[in-house]
Structure 1
Amino acid sequence: MRILIATDAWLPQVNGVVRSLQSTVAEAEKLGARIDLLTPADFRTVPMPTYPEIRLALATPSRVAKRMDQIGAHFVHIATEGPIGLMARRVCLNRGHSFSTSYHTRFPEYLSARAPVPERLSYAWLRRFHNAGAGVMVSTATLETELRARGFRNIMRWSRGVDAELFRPRPTEELDAFVAGLPRPILLSVGRVAVEKNISAFLDLDLPGSKVVVGEGPARAELEAKHPEVHFLGLKEGEALARIYAAADVFVFPSLTDTFGIVLLEALASGVPVAAFPVTGPLDVLGEAPADAPVGVLSNDLREASLAALAIDRKRARDFALRFSWRACTEQFLHNIDAAVALSLATAAAS
């Protein structure tokens, strides 16, 4: 089967959605499946207001339909609810083609953090968007329960993986020289530096050692000026990012809105225990660890969690992360596509 994924999140963006899609496409090819992508690279783009790092595609139904016809996909998966996702959804509905969607980002919470828009209105719009498809894929059990309670239908699980060869414990000579030379303990946070990531909850903590932040975003300049004691390293990828992870003592994840948090797995695979709030994402990932062998600490007191995580065995964190693979994630995605196709055929036969 030839699958088309329509996504507004793509390179040069660096985030969990892009990483998930890149890894899924690569693993699908190894499994004999063909996935094509419809991304902002196929259109003219403009910077997103208040967030110029993100480019919005000037997509139209006719251009999206033309691209879909050129690819000749048997099934369409809509990964995001942006301009490309909206146009792909419209084309599929107009043509009577079935499609699936995925729920990656808590846009209602993100939007309400930036503008006075009630979350209930945003969720009503999202419910309408996703319920038109044959299935909506979510990454965790907690998110599935939450969305079902909000009226979302045909929910499917699509977990995440980690590149355990890249993100791994490393000998001292392989660690990032700057980070490894900082006063210990080193408390690391990786992600978009933006208000919705709640990074101030980490930066405001009174903690020993050194705080390190990896990532870019619209809040960086303000936070860097407010916290001169914090080491902001900017955007890092690949080996450079992996060496920084491996040099850290604790990974601090302050977000309250992430639906999963691939960075959690990257830290654990590097042998770094996690400190986080007990919310969707951390609850689901860390909650799979045995109670008598934790790989992180969840607490509403993030300082308490950060200090307690220092005592966790790094090998235990690494061993736990090895349970997550991009191959298993991709197999789950392809199974969901098959199930969505079967549901669409059954619905058509019954109507």
Structure 2
Amino acid sequence: MTSRLKILIATDAWKPQVNGVVRTLTTTSELLRSWGHEVEVVEPSQFKTFAIPFYPEIPLSFATINHLVQRIRKFHPDAIHISTEGPIGLAARAICIRRKWKFTTSYHTKFPEYLKKMLFLPLAGGYSYMRRFHSRSSGIMVATPSLEQELRLRRFLPELNRWSRGVNLSLFYQREKTHSWPKPVLMYVGRVSKEKNIEAFLKADVPGTKVVVGDGPHRSKLQHDFQKAIFVGYRRGEALAEMYSQADCFVFPSHTDTFGLVMIESLACGVPVAAYPVIGPVDVITEPGTGALNDNLALAIEQALKTASPEACLRHAQTFTWEKSTRQFLSNLRNRHTGEPFTPARIEPLTV
């Protein structure tokens, strides 16, 4: 008889933060629960927090080991997944190692590159910390083949397992273009922060209207420096899907994201993507008509507009489902006592 799993997820990224990691974890948790599994999330609101001086949107937690031990003992999970490398992740990792519990981790964010760009810290030090953090994991979940290859080259030794991403096709779909902005409409969606490299998009010498959807610590500077661009702030749900549909090209200028959920949301709305040929875009923009990759972002935008096929964008977006992503997550989990994967009977949905 099929039995449900009890899964504990420890994460420093959670609501009300707005980013791809939070969307991935919340969607995965909701789907797991709908399938009959029990999910306990240990997240920042359960602790005292303090704001990062250079990134006040992201709170760090004073995660106490004693409190976390009590949470784990009360829930008694079958599997423990540590999603982030911050204070909560560190506390959960320390507990698991001390008690010889097996756990999995995921590599969502290229923090060494972020810290180099924002604080000028050397890459070597950042990757040394990340290798150490993940070194005791029973398996690191990564979103793309190119990220897996890079981590192998950087000597990440634990097993690397694929955990892709999905898109909600009932929310993100092609809608009528209603804005009267001068065409082509070029759009960025995401956090407005230095490491996202939005300045490269706004500097690109291309005609049309540039729209930035989102907010963050770099917004005021970018608004001052690029006064012709339109900044609309955060959009969520239907309002976000409507915004995607107004674009003729979605521009993803980041060099440091490991996937980029916004790209497949854009594709699902029939909008092609222009990006650099780096981890994330090279794994997503793989089909003709879905966009263009180029080291010259202006050329990528021109090529994406020229070759765009809304039908191709939609077909490709349909290959990314949250159901498939969540099944991957389940198959990657390990029994916290034995380190073994769970049998198919344990991870099949109880209700669909």
With normalisation by structure 2, the TM-score equals 0.92
Given residue 189 of structure 1, which amino acid in structure 2 is its aligned partner? Y
The answer to which of 180-189 and 163-172 deviates more is: 163-172
Q: How does 1:196-345 map onto structure 2 within 5 Å?
A: 196-287=195-286, 289=287, 293-311=288-306, 312-338=308-334, 344-345=339-340
In structure 2, the residue matched to 1:145 is 149
- C-alpha displacement of 1:7: 0.3
- C-alpha displacement of 1:310: 1.2
- Is 1:6–2:5 an aligned residue pair? no
Q: Secondary structure at the match of 1:221?
A: helix
- Is 1:38–2:42 an aligned residue pair? yes
Contact 1:190 1:213 in 2 (8 A): yes
Q: Spell out structure 1 runs of 4+ moving beyond 3 A.
A: 340-343
- C-alpha displacement of 1:171: 2.9
The one of 158, 162, 165 equivalent to 1:160 is 165
Contact 1:216 1:235 in 2 (8 A): yes
- Is 1:170–2:175 an aligned residue pair? yes
Gap change, CA 1:337 and 1:285, over 3 Å in 2: same
Deviation sequence 1:282-333 (CA, Å, 0-9, x none): 001112x2xxx33110001110111121131112111110111001000000
The one of 26, 47, 50 equivalent to 2:51 is 47
In structure 2, the residue matched to 1:195 is 194
Q: Secondary structure at the match of 1:55?
A: strand
CA distance in 2, matches of 1:334, 1:42: 25
Where relative contact order (Cα < 8 A, 6+ residues apart) is larger, the structure is 2
- C-alpha displacement of 1:220: 0.4
Contact 1:190 1:214 in 2 (8 A): yes
- Is 1:89–2:112 an aligned residue pair? no
State the aligned residue count. 335
Deviation sequence 1:93-138 (CA, Å, 0-9, x none): 1111110000000000000112232111111111111011101100
- C-alpha displacement of 1:64: 1.2
- C-alpha displacement of 1:341: 5.9
- Is 1:72–2:68 an aligned residue pair? no
Contact 2:80 2:336 in 1 (8 A): no
Given residue 190 of structure 1, which amino acid in structure 2 is its aligned partner? V
CA distance in 2, matches of 1:76, 1:165: 31
- C-alpha displacement of 1:73: 1.2
- C-alpha displacement of 1:30: 2.6
- C-alpha displacement of 1:16: 0.3
- C-alpha displacement of 1:343: 7.1
- C-alpha displacement of 1:46: 1.1
Contact 1:60 1:87 in 2 (8 A): yes
Contact 2:102 2:337 in 1 (8 A): no
In structure 1, the residue matched to 2:134 is 130
Contact 1:134 1:343 in 2 (8 A): no
- C-alpha displacement of 1:344: 2.0
In structure 1, the residue matched to 2:111 is 107
Percent pairwise identity: 47
Output the aligned Cα RMSD. Answer: 1.4
With normalisation by structure 1, the TM-score equals 0.93
Q: Secondary structure at the match of 2:339?
A: helix
| Structure that is richer in helix per residue | 1
Contact 1:166 1:238 in 2 (8 A): yes
Given residue 330 of structure 1, which amino acid in structure 2 is its aligned partner? T
Contact 1:186 1:249 in 2 (8 A): yes
CA distance in 1, matches of 2:210, 2:260: 20
- C-alpha displacement of 1:342: 9.3
